[in-house]
Amino acid sequence: MTPLSATACAIARPRTDRGQGDRIALSAATSHGSHLRTEDVRVWLEERRQANDFRVERIPFDALDQWRFKPGSGNLGHRSGRFFTIEGLHVEERDGPFGDGPRREWQQPVIRQPEAGILGILCKEFDGVLHFLMQAKMEPGNPNLVQLSPTVQATRSNYTRAHGGADVKLIEHFFQPERVIADVLQSEQGSWFFRKVNRNMIVETVDEIEADDDFRWLTLGQIAALLHDDLTVNMNARSVLSCLPFPDCTPGALFSDTQLLSWFTGERSRRDVRAHRIPLSSVCGWKQGPESVEHEEGRYFRAVAVAVQAGNRERIQWTQPLFEAIGVGVVAFLLRDFGGIPHVLVHARADGGFLDTVELAPTVQCTPRNYAHLSTVDQPPFLGIVLNASPSRIRYEAVHSEEGGRFLNASSRYLVVDTNDTETPLDPPPGYAWASLAQLTELTRHGHYLNVEARTLLACLNALSTQPKGGA
Amino acid sequence: MTPLSATACAIARPRTDRGQGDRIALSAATSHGSHLRTEDVRVWLEERRQANDFRVERIPFDALDQWRFKPGSGNLGHRSGRFFTIEGLHVEERDGPFGDGPRREWQQPVIRQPEAGILGILCKEFDGVLHFLMQAKMEPGNPNLVQLSPTVQATRSNYTRAHGGADVKLIEHFFQPERVIADVLQSEQGSWFFRKVNRNMIVETVDEIEADDDFRWLTLGQIAALLHDDLTVNMNARSVLSCLPFPDCTPGALFSDTQLLSWFTGERSRRDVRAHRIPLSSVCGWKQGPESVEHEEGRYFRAVAVAVQAGNRERIQWTQPLFEAIGVGVVAFLLRDFGGIPHVLVHARADGGFLDTVELAPTVQCTPRNYAHLSTVDQPPFLGIVLNASPSRIRYEAVHSEEGGRFLNASSRYLVVDTNDTETPLDPPPGYAWASLAQLTELTRHGHYLNVEARTLLACLNALSTQPKGGA
């Protein structure tokens, strides 16, 4: 592959490109782009919404085209065998010092998509500043349909033979990348997906790029400003942006990297999570109707079907299933400075859909409605602190939606909340630890450390630290 | 947990302990230990062999105590449900640019052991030099029974309730480690185990340690000398030693770290490996007899049973199944200098038992006997170069055995062979890449990058670079 073609330079080079960090920092500090004002991005997004005749309608399962519940298993899948399936999942989880403590066990529907797709952002220097090519992309599950997405977001089915529509625009830049800034397989929602990963890529080019009206070049400073808007930067874009190798400008952290990794290894070792797929038709606690598969108590989510019409997507029209959220989520990091260095309280979270037991999650990640039937002591830890925080302590707040190609109206309030020693002692409860932003940024070079919600908040925190002043 | 207890030091510290690298290098350069000469380690190991009445006998499956083939699945397991099981595995693998190329499919027996155990080495300074506490440990599958092992090697079943024998000596130092040098979940043989990992730990102590005659404190220089002996340092010890954070004294590498990770991500993305467990009784191509489960053509390995008697292990006597190797393996890195910096040719290897598709393996890793029936062009790449290398090009060679608690007589010749531009061009074939030793060392901080054979060779290479002069 091209990035490792070395015949022209058979001598050693530095293992780290130190200039790259400075160029990323410069782009983050640049709130005026070379191509359009940040305010005009909002106008352009609205124009893209209007220019296309997007319609998303709920339909009963039996109106799905090419999708069917398979006889026997009852799993919902595409006739081609590609894209994704909705199946059942059985999870057993044990906690305690050696995975021999209290036991939980449950079943649920889950989305299985074993192929890794590509989420790629192309970037290029204009006027000496890195700009990132963002797409105005319609996804049927987004409450406002069109949001800012990576340059490309394509399942393997999209860019190979399974898809009947047009080729994925600009995908070729990610097959033979000239200069790679980030390239890592990252996980997605472990409570709704079974071990789903996507390849998160940031690639620099010096080529002339022909990009149509669905694309715009933006600085990181502009994207940072837009991350303060509700429902504007989609989940895939946030995930890819979280993998940017921002330089560490801080002199240290509360714990050394080795200590932090050791704590994480301990968390992954002590939890015993065993998840295996089961037929959708056998899932206990859920009921299937003509228009949805839903939890018997109405909690968590439901599987539904939609028909989509769109003018600028790869295919003109299609039908597909989606998971519809029940209630709005709350996703928050508690933030403290130690020695002047910002740290967040990460949670070692075990989800049935994680490939490897535990990933690092935000301090709080839940849908409060799912806990409404429980007493105060059974509410998720730290949720009260986040919900009751006075405005002066809220350092960041915006509503973002999740993966609009698979989830319908799945939105969460993302927050970063200042905290103090009374609420959050230096020695947090088991399963929680303080990590600096630089430590989390470095961990995004590798997969299965930060979950997708933590990556969203990391992208927002990096946006926060660049303190965009609007740029309009 | 203690390592993150921060109340006494609520200020930031450096993320990396730079002095630690120097202390490791000093121990590696010290070939005379404070406690005994390296030559006397060999004598002591032989004494331990003689001092205990170790006997390992093959028995038929129906002479196993507490182990049985379960009705229905035919899986072989312990009545307690703990330790491990022998089950069936079905693997489908597709290669090609997008996992849509040539397809392989097979079934095999596999060992499943879902609990992560602890492999831990305790170290301590004597006379200003770090010494590592190694155990003379009997494992029934080792050809010579007793080898040098980590301070502790314990399955979760060993150190919790499932085991009827004595407690694991010194295990308490790994529950509440004072000072962690390495702590990472690492994989084991992906062709024989289903997603097995162990927690590899190196922990420093300042306590007085009471260690009986099964234990000795050795410098890294002494262990390096012993790594040149056949069948002396066991697999678990080699794996843990490979995680030592040796400092990078080289100015760079052929490819930047980002390029190397990007290549690896590409390899993991393009391979499509789907493995799922099946009942042992349904495995095609294998036949079950009263004393073994073996391949119909006599290849790969066979499952057998043994009775063990030992004086110094946690239990006095027991029976258990083992996988017995067919033939001796060849495991080798091809080595080249680029810009004066040593690099090895790593192979992105897909095994059915890997948790995450692909791990980095040595250039050659195979049992030649399994390929004897194939033509020259179908032999594993680079095997001929390794087997035909003249003695002057062999930089390292020793026979090591694998996991003696699960495998019987599973030995491989481990080699490091100098190569040149004619044999191994700068642009290697797909699936191979050049990585510096420092890059590989850094990757051992994280799991699922280097497979256990690559980690053994990395430990040997680090031993090689310290050039031990014997120390006798």
| Interchain pair B5, A100: CB under 8 A | no
Q: Is residue B428 part of a domain?
A: yes
Residue A356: closest CA among A442, A265, A295, A439: A265
Instruction: Give ipTM to 2 decimals.
Output: 0.94
Least confident of A369-383, A423-437, B60-74, B307-321: B307-321
B431-472 pLDDT, tens digit each: 999 999 999 999 999 999 999 999 999 999 998 876 543 333
Task: Give residues 115 to 154 of B whose Cβ lies within 8 Å of A.
Answer: 115-116, 118
Looking at the domain assignment, is residue A71 inside a domain?
Answer: no
pLDDT tens-digit series, residues A437-451? 999 999 999 999 999
Q: In B, which residues are within 8 Å of A174 by CB distance?
A: none
Q: What is the largest CA-CA distance in chain B?
A: 66
The answer to whether the Cβ–Cβ distance between B184 and A253 falls below 8 Å is no
- Structural domain range at position B456: 257-274+326-464
Identify the pLDDT of residue A311: 64
For residues B77 and A396, what is the distance between their CA atoms, to the nearest angstrom? 53
**Structure tokens given for A105:** 């066990």
Cα–Cα distances in angstroms (integers) from residue A378 to residues A350, A373, A381, in the given order:
17, 10, 8
B61-64: long-range pairs with CB below 8 Å, 24+: B61/B290, B61/B291, B61/B305, B61/B321, B62/B290, B63/B305, B63/B307, B63/B319, B64/B305, B64/B319, B64/B320, B64/B321
In a domain, B79, yes or no: no
* pLDDT score at B6: 47
Same domain, A358 and A390: yes
Are residues B186 and B140 located together in one domain of the fold?
Answer: yes
Please report which confidence band the pLDDT of residue A423 belongs to, taking 50, 70 and 90 as the band edges: confident
Q: Does A92 touch chain B (CB under 8 A)?
A: no
B448 vs A contacts (CB less than 8 Å):
356
Same domain flag for A35 and A166? yes
- In this prediction, residue B315 has a pLDDT band, given cuts at 50, 70 and 90, of low
Q: How far apart are CA A78 and CA A111, in angstroms?
A: 13
Let me know whether B180 and B211 are in one domain.
yes
Note whether A237 and A123 are same-domain residues. yes
Bigger pLDDT: B12 or B66? B66
Give tens-digit pLDDT for B390-425: 999 999 999 999 999 999 999 999 999 999 888 887
Phi/psi at A137 (5° precision): -120, 135
What CATH number does the domain containing A337 carry? Answer: 3.90.79.40
Closest CB from A11, A258, A439 relative to B180? A258
Is any Cβ of chain A less than 8 angstroms from the Cβ of B438? yes
Token readout for A410 is: 């799945």
Over residues A186-217, the pLDDT tens digits come to 999 999 999 999 999 999 999 999 989 999 99
Is B40 part of a structural domain of the chain?
yes
Predicted confidence band of residue A157 (pLDDT cuts 50, 70, 90) = confident
Closest partner residue to A427 (CB to CB) among B5, B160, B439 is B5
How would DSSP label each residue in B328-385?
Answer: -EEEEEEEEEETTEEEEEEEEEE-TT-TTSEEEE-SEEE-GGGGTTS-GGGSPTTHHH
Residue A162: pLDDT band with limits 50, 70, 90: very low
Point out the domain boundary residue: B193, B218, B242.
B242
Instruction: Classify residue A331: in a domain, yes or no.
Output: yes
Secondary element (H or E) of residue A330? strand A329-338
Q: Looking at residues A103-118, what average pLDDT do you find?
A: 93
pLDDT for A4 equals: 47
Residues A217 and A339 in one domain: no
Q: Which residue in chain A has the smallest CA separation from B20? A: A258
Cross-chain residue pair B159–A254, CB shorter than 8 Å: no
What value does the mean pLDDT take over residues A343-366? Answer: 96
Residue B96 — pLDDT band, cuts 50, 70, 90? low
Q: List the single range of A308-317, B148-157, B269-278 with lowest mean pLDDT.
A: A308-317
Cβ(B87)–Cβ(B72) under 8 Å? no
Per-residue pLDDT tens over the stretch A248-274: 888 899 999 999 999 999 999 988 899
Check: pTM over 0.90? Answer yes or no. Answer: yes
Residue B10: per-residue pLDDT = 60
Of chain B residues 413-432, which have a CB less than 8 A from chain A? 425-427, 430
Residue B2 has pLDDT above 50, yes or no: no
Share of chain B above pLDDT 70, in %: 92
Shared-domain flag, residues A238 and A261: no
Identify whether the C-beta of residue B464 lies closer than 8 Å to the C-beta of residue B396.
yes
B371 touches chain A (CB under 8 A): no
* Confidence class for position B103, pLDDT limits 50, 70, 90: confident
Stretch among A175-184, A260-269, B36-45 having the lowest mean pLDDT: A175-184
Give residue A375's Cα distance to chain centre: 31
Same domain, yes or no: A208 and A332: no
Residue A115, C-beta contacts closer than 8 angstroms, at least 6 positions apart: A82, A155, A156, A157, B99, B272
The answer to whether residue B165 scores a pLDDT higher than 70 is no
Looking at the structure, tell me whether residues B383 and B431 fall in a common domain.
yes
State yes or no: pLDDT of B4 exceeds 50. no
What pLDDT band is residue B8 in, cutting at 50, 70 and 90?
A: very low
Kindly state whether residues A224 and A265 are assigned to the same domain.
no
Residue A470 predicted with pLDDT over 90 = no
Q: Is residue A204 part of a domain?
A: yes
Q: Which helix (H) or strand (E) holds A150?
A: none
Contact between A451 and A349 under an 8 Å Cβ cutoff? The reply is yes
Convert B209-220 to b/e letters by CB count within 10 Å (16 or more is b).
Answer: eeeeebbbbbbb
| Same domain flag for B224 and B349 | no
Q: How many CB atoms lie within 10 A of CB B359?
A: 28
Q: Which chain B residue's Cα is nearest to A431? A: B1
| Residue B287: C-alpha distances to residues B275, B327, B407 (Å) | 21, 19, 19
> What is the reported pLDDT for B88?
98
Q: Which of residues 325-364 of A touch B (CB under 8 A)?
A: 338-341, 355-356
Q: Does B171 touch chain A (CB under 8 A)?
A: no
> What pLDDT digit, counting tens, does each position of B168-182 carry?
899 999 997 879 999
pLDDT at position B366, please?
A: 96
**Averaged pLDDT, A276-294:** 97
Q: Is B306 within the bounds of a domain?
A: no
Residue B442 lies in a domain: yes
Mean pLDDT of B62-88: 95
**Same domain flag for A372 and A416:** yes
Phi, psi dihedrals of residue B457, rounded to the nearest 5°:
-65, -35
Percent of chain B predicted with pLDDT > 90: 78
Domain tally for chain B? 2
> Could you read off the pLDDT of B336-380 as tens digits, one per residue?
999 899 999 999 999 999 999 999 999 999 999 999 889 988 899
